[in-house]
Chains A and B, each alone.
Chain A
C-alpha cells in the first residue's frame, strides 16, 4: 500500500520541494499582504520572496497561484469524522478528503463516536486510523465525561498523552455544573481547553427549531435562545472561577454573544466560534421543512444572524468552524422532529464565509484569522501562519471562482448539505499540509506536473 498523505505529512523529508508562484500572500500573523513566491521543502516554508526570485532549480514542482490568494492552511476546529462506529455516515478517509477539497489542512474531530472517545485506547485508534487513511491533519478532541454522560470524568490525562488537544462533550452538554467545574480544573492541569456546546438540555426539552413566532406557526417544538444563553453564561462563570480556558462552540444568539463580549472585556480566557450556517441562514429556511436545515443550536432570527456577523467582524467571535456533521439518508429522510441534527460543512465553509467578506460584512483579515491563527492558538499548534520555518500548511484560494455546488462535488460519505444547488463565490484550489499537496483543483494539475 502507498503511504497515506497523513504519513507523508508526518514524515516531511519524503516530500518534494515546491514553489507556489505569483499568488497574493495574505498572513495576518505577519501583517503580510502582497504578491510573493513561496518555497516549500522538507514540509516547511523555506522562503517567501518577491515573484521570480526563487529559482526553479530549488524545487521541481510548481503551483501557479496567479490570481489566487495564498493563505495559511485552514483549520476546522469542529468536525465529526464519525469513526469509529458510525462509518456509514463518514470515515476519517472520506471526511478528510472533503476537508482537503474544502481548503482545510487540518481538522479537529469530536468525541461522539461509538464507542465514545473517552479513553486513551480510542484516542490512539483514531490517531492510527488517521495515520493510515487521512488526507488532512487530524487533531483529536477527547470527551469531557465518560460516555458523554456528564457524570464521571473521562480519562483526560490518558487521552492527552495519546495526542488529544482539547476536550468536548459536544452535543451532550455537561449539565452538572460541579462536574464541569472539576473537568475544567482537571483539564487545565493537562494544558487542554474545554469546548462547550452550550445549551441547557433541560430547557431545550426536545425543541427542534428556534423558539419563536415561526416555531409556533410551523407547529414545531421550539428550542429557546435562553437555553444557549444560560449555558454560555454558566461556562463564563466557571471560567472566572477556575481560570481555565473555555471555548464556546457555534455561538448563535445575540445575548449569548453579549455574554462572551463582556467576558473577553474582563480578560477571561474565553473564545468562541461561529459556523457558516449560523452566519448565512435564518430560521426562515426551516419553512421548507427540509431536515437539512435542522441543527443544534437551531438556525436563529435575522437579528441573531446580524449580531453574529458583527461579532465575527469585531473579533468577539474569534474562530470560524463548520460543525461538519455528516448523516446518512435514513438519519435525515424522516419527520422533522426525528431527524438528526447537523449538516455537512467542509466543502462549503470557505466559500460561504468568503461571501460575507465580499459583501463587506467581515473584514478579510478576520476571515483568514478565524480559519487559521485563532484555532491554531486555541489548540496550541505551530500552524496557522506563513512564517518562514513554520510547517507548510497552506490554502490557495481562488476568490473569483463562481461555481454551483452539485452532489458530485461532495467527497463526504453523506450528502446532507442544504447548500446543494447554491452558487458559491470562491473556492480552495490547492491545499497543503506539512508541505504535502492534499488537494489540487483540476485546472491547476497541469502546472503542478514535474518540470524536467
Chain B
C-alpha cells in the first residue's frame, strides 16, 4: 500500500498513480471525519503556506485556507488579478519576493495556461496547482472523484458525463484524466463550439452535442460553468439558448438513471447549467463537493509536506466508515 507521493509538488493529475490517488482518498476520508468533528489535526503546525491567487477564486481559496488552518499552519495570501502573459516578469518577481518570507510551499492559481508549470521551474519549494489557465485543476478533480467514490465505493465501470464548456475547462481536463485513471468512462456533451476538436487526446471516450441521447448512459453528470471570462468572442448565441439545449433541467433529468448523481464545481449559474430544483435536490452532490474540498486538500498538503506525520495519523485513526482501500 502506498503511503506517500513520489513528487514533491502537485502540478497535474499526471503526477499521480492510481495507488497514490487511493492513498490520498484514504487520507481524505480519515481527515474528513476529523473535519466533521471540528477537530484540528496539527500535522503542519508551525508551517507557513503561501497562497498566490492571480485569478479570482472564492471556493478554492477559502477551501485551501480552511485546510491550512485545520492542519495548524499559517497562511500568507496574495491575491491579484491579471489577465495577460505580459505580466510574466512581475509574476516571477512576486514569487521571488514571497520566497523571502520563507513559506514551506506555494499554492498557485493563474489565469494563463502553463503559468503554474512555469513557476514550478522557478522555485524549489513544493507547489500545488490550484488552477492553471485552461490546463489543469488537479485538486478539484481529486475532490470530485473522492465525492463520487464515497457514493459508489469504486469508479470502475461507471460513466461520467461532463456537460458544458469543455473547451475552456481545466476542471474537465483534470477530471477526465483522473476518472480514466480510476477506471471510469468519460463522455463529453456541449455545444460544438465548446467541445475540443479531438476529445480522445484528453482521454474522453466520446463527445456529442446531442444531450438527450447521452443522458441515459450517465451514472453522474458533471455540469460545468459557462466561463464567459475565458471567451474572447461569442461561442454561444445566448445563455437562454444554452439553457434550452444544454442545461440540465428537471424535465431532461428524467432521462437519467434514477440513481445518477449531479455535480457542479461552482459557481453555479442557476437556471443555466442546472436548474435550481436539481442543484438543491436529493441527487445533487454540489455542497458535498464543497465540503469534501477541505479534507481532500488537507490530505494533499499533509502528504506533500509531512508524509511521515500523515502516515502515523492514519495508523492511529483507522477508518470508521467508508473504507475506500482496494
Contacts and interface: CB of A to CB of B under 8 A. Distances in A.
Given A158-B244, A189-B209, A190-B209, A153 B236 contact: yes
B235 A182 contact: yes
A182 B238 contact: no
Contact of B244 (A154, A157, A179, A182): A157
Contacts of A152: 234, 237
A179 B192 contact: no
Contact of B191 (A151, A154, A189): A189
Given A155-B238, A157-B237, A185 B245 contact: no
A158 B241 CA distance: 7
B192 A186 contact: yes
Contact of B195 (A155, A156, A189): A189
B237 A156 contact: yes
Interface in B239-265: 240-241, 244-245
A146 interface: yes
A158 B237 CA distance: 10
Interface in B273-287: none
Given A187-B192, A190-B209, A182 B241 contact: no
A188 interface: yes
A282 interface: no
Interface residues of B, number: 17
Nearest to A187: B192
A182 B209 contact: no
B233 A185 contact: no
A378 to B, nearest CB: 18
B236 A186 contact: yes
A413 B233 CA distance: 41
A176 B240 CA distance: 24
Contacts of A301: none
A178 interface: yes
Contact of A244 (B192, B235, B236): B192
Which bucket holds chain A's interface residue count? Answer: 20 to 34
B235 A186 contact: yes
Tell which of B195, B197, B235 has the most Cβ of chain A within 10 Å: B235
Given A152-B237, A179-B233, A157 B245 contact: yes
A257 B244 CA distance: 40
Interface in A175-206: 176, 178-179, 182-183, 185-190
A451 B241 CA distance: 54
Contacts of B240: 155
B209 to A, nearest CB: 3
A158 B245 CA distance: 8
Contacts of A146: 237
Contacts of B191: 185-186, 189
Nearest to A146: B237
Contacts of B241: 155-158
Interface in A42-85: none
Contact of A188 (B190, B192, B235, B238): B192
Nearest to A118: B237
Interface in A198-252: 242-244
Interface string A145-181: 0100001111111100000000000000000101100
A182 B193 contact: yes
B237 A189 contact: no
Contacts of B236: 153, 186
Interface string B64-103: 0000000000000000000000000000000000000000
Interface string A350-362: 0000000000000
B188 to A, nearest CB: 12
A68 B93 CA distance: 84
A182 to B, nearest CB: 5
A156 B237 CA distance: 7
Contacts of B192: 185-190, 244
Interface in B125-163: none
B157 to A, nearest CB: 28
Contacts of B237: 146, 152-158, 186
Contacts of A178: 233
B234 A182 contact: yes
Contacts of A176: 233
Contacts of B233: 176, 178-179, 182
The residue in A146, A158, A243, A244 that gathers the most chain B C-beta atoms within 10 A of its C-beta is: A158
A187 B209 CA distance: 10
Interface in A127-151: 146, 151
Nearest to A182: B193
A190 B193 CA distance: 11
Given A152-B237, A155-B238, A179-B234, A185 B244 contact: no
Contacts of A242: 197
14 contacts: A155-B237, A155-B240, A157-B237, A158-B237, A158-B241, A185-B192, A186-B191, A186-B192, A186-B236, A187-B192, A188-B192, A189-B190, A189-B195, A190-B209
Given A176-B233, A178-B233, 7 more contacts: A146-B237, A155-B237, A156-B237, A182-B193, A182-B233, A185-B192, A190-B209
Interface of B: 190-193, 195, 197, 209, 233-238, 240-241, 244-245
